[in-house]
Amino acid sequence: MTTLTDLAGYLASESADEAVKEVVVVIAQACARISRVVASGAILGNLGAAGQVNVQDEEQKKLDLITNDILSEALQGCPAVAGLASEELEAIETTGRQGGFLVTFDPLDGSSNIDVNVSVGTIFSILPAPDGQIPTEADFLLPGRRQVAAGYAVYGPQTMLVLTLSGGVVAFTLDADGAWLLTHPNLAIAADTAEFAINMSNQRHWAEPVRRYIDGCLRGKDGPRGKNFNMRWVASMVADVHRILMRGGVFLYPWDAREPDRAGKLRLLYEANPMALIVERAGGKATDGQTAILDLQPVKLHQRAPVVLGSANEVDQVVAATAA
Ligand code: AHM
Ligand code: MG
């Protein structure tokens, strides 16, 4: 058996700033801990609702709160971190330090799946912090292109950490001893696909162009696309994006008419932006339908965005269908 490089070995070979690497190590350790806590589920009495809602008015699970605490405590203790923001925290937290980095995260994405033992994950984004001052919320409102690193951990049949630092996209698998081993040194998303991911139950609420695009896929080889499509929807963005990284596909969470004043379901700073950076670095595309996700200027911390991402040529098809 060949010996696999671990996270420390990989980081030693990477040209990124040493302080960013420190932040990545702290997050990776926290994700390994979260993996154990998630895996213990009912044994530790951690499944089920926490009995409160978050800033987005969504019911929080016990594990949303536990995993949020694990990550925020880890980042509070990391010398290179000046501030953090989480899906589960209304306001930013500062660490009392200046300079270094800001981290935004969704500690347990797809948490509606926890109680039924389906894959969930942690998503994170690392941004530069302002020099010479304690960060404020405004300092977090940077376009996704300013991210210095992004990644996610997926807690599935295998626990994996997908990461992009200064170059491409790599993935590590957590071994039984708690080490992250580099199992996927160069992830690239196939440009073409015949697989789409969308919550079809919202069909009647979509805008007409999205309906038209999906209708074209559903009509298969008898329709305008001239080929049959498969559909997958895990309802865990990490799991859906992970599948797309591994075998191609397109993921859509568009605006819909259920909450017309909201741009979509997914949040820009800790869901759409980190996933968009990973997808672009792997050769795919990520857009809100008009603008590359990474070029959107955030105006508030928990802002939402419509998301279309994945195989480059299929994202182009969505954009063309929605522009028509
Ligand atoms: P969460 O962060 O509260 O878990 O919500 C985000 C999740 C995504 O992981 C997933 O793509 C989407 O919500 C699923 O939404 P739906 O319940 O409409 O299928
Ligand atoms: Mg989420």
Pocket, ligand 1, Cβ cutoff 6 A:
58, 87, 106, 109-112, 199, 235-237, 253, 265
Statement: residue 324 has pLDDT above 70:
no
The CA distance from 275 to 260, in Å, is: 24
Alpha helix (H) ranges present in the chain? 7-12, 18-40, 62-76, 208-218, 237-247, 273-281, 312-323
Quote the pLDDT of residue 60.
87
Statement: residue 51 has pLDDT above 90:
no
Tens digits of residue pLDDT in 77-136: 999 999 999 999 999 999 999 999 999 999 999 988 999 999 999 999 999 999 999 999
The CA distance from 144 to 286, in Å, is: 11
The CA distance from 114 to 100, in Å, is: 34
Quote the pLDDT of residue 323.
76
The CA distance from 113 to 115, in Å, is: 6
Average pLDDT (157-167) is 96
Average pLDDT (212-218) is 97
Q: Do 7-184 and 195-323 come out as alike in CATH topology?
A: no
CA 281–ligand 2 middle distance (angstroms)? 21
Statement: residue 157 has pLDDT above 70:
yes
Tens digits of residue pLDDT in 256-301: 999 998 899 999 999 999 999 999 999 999 999 999 999 999 999 9
Quote the pLDDT of residue 2.
72
Quote the pLDDT of residue 144.
98
Q: 270, 124 in Cβ contact below 8 A?
A: yes
* In the chain, % of residues over pLDDT 70: 99
Give the global pTM. Answer: 0.97
CB burial string 33-55: b at 16+ within 10 A, e below: ebbebbeeeeeeebbeeeeeebe
Q: Where does 195-323 sit in CATH, by number?
A: 3.40.190.80
CA 254–ligand 1 middle distance (angstroms)? 12
Q: Where does 7-184 sit in CATH, by number?
A: 3.30.540.10
In this structure, of 4-8, 12-16, 188-192, the range with the lowest mean pLDDT score is: 12-16
* Angle at 97 (CA atoms; ends 165, 179), nearest 5 degrees: 40
Tens digits of residue pLDDT in 291-308: 999 999 999 999 999 999
pLDDT band for position 55 (cuts 50, 70, 90): confident
pLDDT band for position 76 (cuts 50, 70, 90): very high
Tens digits of residue pLDDT in 65-74: 999 999 999 9
Q: Please provide the average confidence, as pLDDT, over all residues in the chain.
A: 95
Mutate to test the pocket of ligand 1, among 152, 237, 244, 309 (most ligand atoms within 8 A of CB): 237
Q: Report the nearest atom of ligand 1 relative to the CA of 113.
A: 4
Domains in the chain: boundaries: 7-184, 195-323
Tens digits of residue pLDDT in 194-213: 999 999 999 999 999 999 99
Quote the pLDDT of residue 62.
92
Statement: residue 1 has pLDDT above 70:
no
Residue 170: count of CB within 10 angstroms of its CB: 23
CA 299–ligand 2 middle distance (angstroms)? 19
